Amino acid sequence: MMQKEALLPEIGVITDIRIDTPDVKTFRVVTPDGKKPFLHVPGQCAMLSIPGVGEALFSITSSPTNTEFLEFSIKKCGCVTSFLHSIEPGQYVTIRGPYGNGFPVESAFLGKDLLFVAGGIGLAPLRSVINYCRHYRDKYGKIDIVYGSRSMQDLVDYREIIDEWCKEEGINVHLTIDREQPEWSGHVGFVPNFVKELGFDTGKTAVLCGPPIMIKFTLAGLQEIGFQKDQIYTTLEMRMKCGIGKCGRCNLGDKFICKDGPVFRFDQLEELPDEY
């Protein structure tokens, strides 16, 4: 799975750039000979870089079941991401990975009803696992997706959600936006409250991803309605340089996010310093 040299990157070619929201674009990456760079598990990450600009770790947003390419949904916020947002298809990048543990799709998730809760760009890491579960639909129970963003325009993958997820049986998609918008007929309100309002069956396994404040309140909300911490997963983000647990940056206590994470269960996180 992993490339043979952990620290020496390989070349990737950006073949397609999709504009998702005003500050999120999704990049499709293949090898120069048009193949998928490597195999991965949902929730894993990869290091993308533009030489001279920098290297950064991104969640792989495409599903492992996609055999043609990798996709990354990237929000413009720093040096590397700004540069990526300014490029055009055909641009070479370097890529190395995959890194991290990924979601336990072949163990803990098997046979479970799944509840995905995402806010903003937090959908990016979940898209991979959601599509994986959709692909192996019979391995999992009911799937609920709660997704919210600042506005309708800030909903990542909106087309895919509407055209595919919403139409699939056994998947319930609950969308919300923070403030009223004339063209929006759906729910309005913050994600944590929406989750409480929806009031899920406590037998589900939940996965949270989004801004820290959303995570904090959603976690509290889920616990309020009866979820235990060992039922709730999240995926974390931190500054990384190596991606293989050596450069010393991304540890929470004795756990390295790049190696032991980025997917953690909340009961595990409870045992660790909250330096994230």
Partner 1 sequence: MQRIGVFVCWCGSNIAATVDVKAVAEALGKEPGVVFFEDYQYMCSEEGQNKIKNAIKDYALTGAVICSCSPRMHENTFRKAAAAAGINSFMVEIANIREQCSWIHKDKVSATEKAIVLGRAAIAKLHLNAPLTAGESPVVKRALVIGGGIAGIQTALDIADAGFEVDIVEKKPTIGGKMSQIDKTFPTLDCAACILTPKMVDVAQSEKIRIFAYSEVEAVKGFVGNFNVSIRKKARYVDEVKCTGCGLCTEKCPQKKVPNDFNLGLDQKRAIYIPFAQAVPKIATIDADYCTMLKTGKCGVCSKVCTAGAIDYKQKDTVLEEQYGAIVVATGFNPIELTKYDEFAYSQSPDVITSLEFERITNAAGPTGGTLLRPSDGTHPHKIVFVQCVGSREDGNGCGKTYCSKICCMYTAKHAMLTREKYPDTEVYVFYIDVRTPGKNFDEFYRRAVEEYGVHYIKGMVGKVSPENGKLMVRASDLIEGKQLLIDADLVVLAAAIEPDKSARPLATMLTASMDTNDFFTEAHPKLRPVESPTAGIFLSGCCQGPKDIPETVAQASACAAKVIGLLNKDKLTCNACVAHPDEMLCNGCSTCEKVCPYGAITYESKEFRMPDRTTRIRRVASVNPAVCQGCGACTVACPSGAMDLHGFSNRQIMAEVDAICK
Partner 2 sequence: MKKIALQNLPKLFSAISESKALYLPVDTESGAEFRLYREGDTLSEACNTNRSAKDFFFPQVEDMAEFKVEGKKIEVLDIRRESEEFVIFGARACDVKSFEILDSVFLADPVDTYYKNRREHVTVISLACNFPEETCFCSTFGIDAASPAGDVAAWIIDEELYMTALTEKGEAFLSAHAALLSDADESKVDKKKEEIAEICHRLPLQNLPVEHFKAEKLMEHFNDPKWAELSQSCIGCGTCTFVCPTCQCFDIRDFDTGNGIQRYRCWDSCMYSDFTQMAAAQPRLTQLERFRQRFMHKLVYHPANHEGTYGCVGCGRCLAKCPISMNIAKVIKEIGGEK
| Interaction between residue 182 and partner 2 (CB under 8 A) | no
Nearer to partner 2, 51 or 111 (CB): 51
The least distance separating partner 2 from the CB of residue 229, rounded to whole angstroms, comes to: 15
| Interaction between residue 254 and partner 2 (CB under 8 A) | yes
Cα–Cα distances in angstroms (integers) from residue 265 to residues 160, 185, 241, in the given order: 28, 34, 24
Return the half-sphere exposure (C-beta side, CA atoms, 13 A cut-off) of residue 275. Answer: 12
Three-state SS at 109: coil
CB 171, CB 147: distance < 8 Å? no
| Interaction between residue 276 and partner 2 (CB under 8 A) | yes
108 binds, among partner 1, partner 2, none (CB under 5 to 8 A by kind): none
Q: How far apart are CA 2 and CA 45, in angstroms?
A: 11
Among 21, 61, 73, 81, binds partner 2 (CB under 8 A): 81
Q: How far apart are CA 192 and CA 173, in angstroms?
A: 15
Return the half-sphere exposure (C-beta side, CA atoms, 13 A cut-off) of residue 78. Answer: 10
| Interaction between residue 51 and partner 2 (CB under 8 A) | yes
Nearer to partner 2, 119 or 221 (CB): 119
247 binds, among partner 2, partner 1, none (CB under 5 to 8 A by kind): partner 2
Q: How far apart are CA 155 and CA 121, in angstroms?
A: 8
- Counting residues that bind partner 2 (by CB under 8 A) gives 44
| Interaction between residue 216 and partner 2 (CB under 8 A) | no
Q: Which stretch binds partner 2 (CB under 8 A): 85-93, 105-113, 115-123, 227-235?
A: 85-93
Nearer to partner 1, 51 or 253 (CB): 51
Q: Which stretch binds partner 2 (CB under 8 A): 64-72, 129-137, 146-154, 247-255?
A: 247-255
The least distance separating partner 1 from the CB of residue 87, rounded to whole angstroms, comes to: 6
Q: Which residues pair with 133 in a beta bridge?
A: none
Tokens of 104: 């336990």
Strand order in the sheet with 54-59: 54-59, 45-50, 92-99, 10-21, 24-30, 70-75
The binding track of 219-238 with respect to partner 2, each residue x by CB under 8 A or -, is -------------------x
**Residues 56-74 as b or e (16 or more Cβ within 10 Å = b):** bbbbbbbbbebeebbbbbb
CB 64, CB 102: distance < 8 Å? no
List of residues contacting partner 1 (CB under 8 A): 83, 86-87
83 binds, among partner 2, partner 1, none (CB under 5 to 8 A by kind): partner 1
2 binds, among partner 1, partner 2, none (CB under 5 to 8 A by kind): partner 2
**Residues 156-188 as b or e (16 or more Cβ within 10 Å = b):** bbbebbeeebeeeeebbbbbbbbeeeeeeeeee
Residues that bind partner 2 (CB under 8 A): 2, 5-11, 49, 51-55, 77-79, 81, 87-88, 90-94, 238-239, 241-242, 244-251, 253-254, 271-273, 275-276
